[in-house]
Amino acid sequence: MSSNDQDSEQPHPGGPPVPAWLRDLAAAASKMEINPLAQPPAHGGRASAVLVLFADQAPGADQAYPAAPDAGPQAHPAATAANRFDLLFIQRSADLRLHAGQPAFPGGAIDAADDGPVAAALREAAEEVGVDPAGVDVVGTLPELFIPRTGFRVVPVLAWWREPCAVAPVDPAEVAAVERVSVSELADPATRVMVRGPGGYLSPAFRVKGMLIWGFTAVLVDRLLALAGWERPWDTAKVIDL
């Protein structure tokens, strides 16, 4: 599915329509380059999907492009409130066999009954934290990515939370916490570090709201920030060991 497959131009009852900046981001992300290490193999791997869910913390205001927090005086007025746009994250339970304790986007394996990755991502978000699919507008899907350590083939589903609802872990044995993290927090150089994982592999990470977002999720956030033009210079020499 591409961003053009959705009728995002039309207003939706009960909430604002998909903003133009998110349609632009979906179009750019659908063609993003994939690191060779994240290229899915020709065969094998478990098909899965995650929901990359953007929301507006100030619905009703002008949906300007969320410029960097240090945007100059000529920036659109909404640039002074860049933290109004956020992303939904979960923190997985420490007792899980895979990805224990890790922050992540809502999501999971695509079941046989799911009608593809979009349906799977929406179902998982509902089952994990209570997101109502009726209040979500899917904007597009990103290229499938591979997580070698766990063997998951992941399709990120980019979406707009038109009607945000209260969310919380549905099953604490699976999800320990839920957080909405603003674009400005993620783009803040002070929150950004590199992490050194097993084998010495370095990758970007984010320290926000008491969480260390790393691995697949952090790499995806890093790419979205760059594609959207939100990335700010940060110290890539700041490395912490997992």
Write out residues in the chain with pLDDT < 50, as ranges.
1-11, 72-81
Q: What is the pLDDT of residue 7?
A: 39
DSSP of 147-181: ETTTTEEEEEEEEEESS------S-TTTEEEEEEE
**Residue 34 token pair:** 């994939």
Q: What is the pLDDT of residue 200?
A: 86
Per-residue pLDDT reduced to its tens digit, 65-119 = 665 555 543 443 334 335 689 999 999 886 655 556 789 999 999 999 999 999 9
Q: How far apart are CA 187 and CA 199, in angstroms?
A: 27
Q: What is the pLDDT of residue 11?
A: 43
Amino acid at 59: P
Burial of 236 (0-12, 13-18, 19+ CB in 10 A): exposed
Q: What is the pLDDT of residue 149?
A: 82
**3-class secondary-structure state, position 84:** helix
Q: Are 111 and 47 in contact (CB under 8 A)?
A: no
Q: What is the pLDDT of residue 80?
A: 35
For the chain, what percent of residues have pLDDT higher than 90?
Answer: 63
**Residue 103 token pair:** 């922050």
